Amino acid sequence: MLDQRPSEAPVLRVLSEEAVSFGDLPEQVSMDPVIEGAEFARERIVSDDAAGLCAVWAAQPGVYPRVKHQRGSAMYIFSGDATVYDKDGTPHEIHEGSILVLPYRWEGRWEIHRTIRKVYIHSWPTGEPPSVPALGVSLSGIEASQDSLAEPLPVSVHRGGFPDALARVITDGVDGLCVIAKLGVGSHPVSDGTRAMNAYLLEGEASLDGPTGQQVELRTGSVAVVPAGWAGTWNVKRPLRAFLFFTQPREEWPA
């Protein structure tokens, strides 16, 4: 498990495209409660700290009730098929390329038809949602890939971290800001923002260069967690398109 205390210098966390798509998932995670299906899922943690949990996760077919009573989540589906139902019965059809946000106070169930593999982020809420139970928000792979991403993402919204991006906002609530964003070829300075940025690269290639000489390479299919307080430069070598979830660090650490 990766742990970054607020007193340490911000450190980038990255998982390569091979590890994300095909790598082993060493952690066993209980699926309780289970109506039918496997008792456990598998995952690999990329980052787990005050700003949230980012991991790659896989689960076999089955029916799994869920209640988001502590944290919300946002996720990008690499492979598999499922129908996710809100408590009121609203369905979300989930396939390869889908994006799904299940906010804090969401209630419902997963019906996994074909093994799901995804990257997901749990975030700590900053308040109560407008309604309880909260409703899920989903975006199909076709919608995600065809959107022109023409709207700017102002610093006042993302609070540092990706100032040159153009984006489509999927959700912006007590759990965080979920978007699809793009950056063109070139150097893009990043300020030391107040939110962590969890990124899955849908396409493109870039290096993240920090002020102390730290450099990481990102390619299509890789996952990166850029912590709050990190400043540096995104050097984009091929036009970049990414699934991003900005999360607000929790003020106090869990006991």
Output the domain CATH number for residue 222: 2.60.120.10
Separation of alpha carbons 15 and 139, rounded Å: 24
- Residue 161 gets the label, from left (phi > 0), alpha (psi -120 to 50) or beta, of left
User: How crowded is residue 135: how many other Cβ atoms within 10 Å of its Cβ?
Assistant: 19
Q: Residue 187: what residue type?
A: S
Same domain, 155 and 82: no
Separation of alpha carbons 211 and 230, rounded Å: 9
Separation of alpha carbons 19 and 218, rounded Å: 13
Q: H or E segment at 17?
A: helix 17-22
Report if residue 3 sits inside a domain. no
Q: Residue 53: what residue type?
A: L
Report if residue 6 sits inside a domain. no
Last residue of a domain, one of 142, 161, 195: 142
SS3 assignment, position 142:
helix
Query: Looking at the DSSP assignment, which residues form a beta bridge with residue 234?
Result: 188, 208
- The pLDDT tens digits for 194-228 are 999 999 999 999 999 987 788 899 999 999 999 99
pTM of the model: 0.93
- The pLDDT tens digits for 88-144 are 999 999 999 999 999 999 999 999 999 999 999 999 999 999 999 999 999 999 998
- The number of folded domains in the chain is 2
Domain carrying residue 61: 13-142
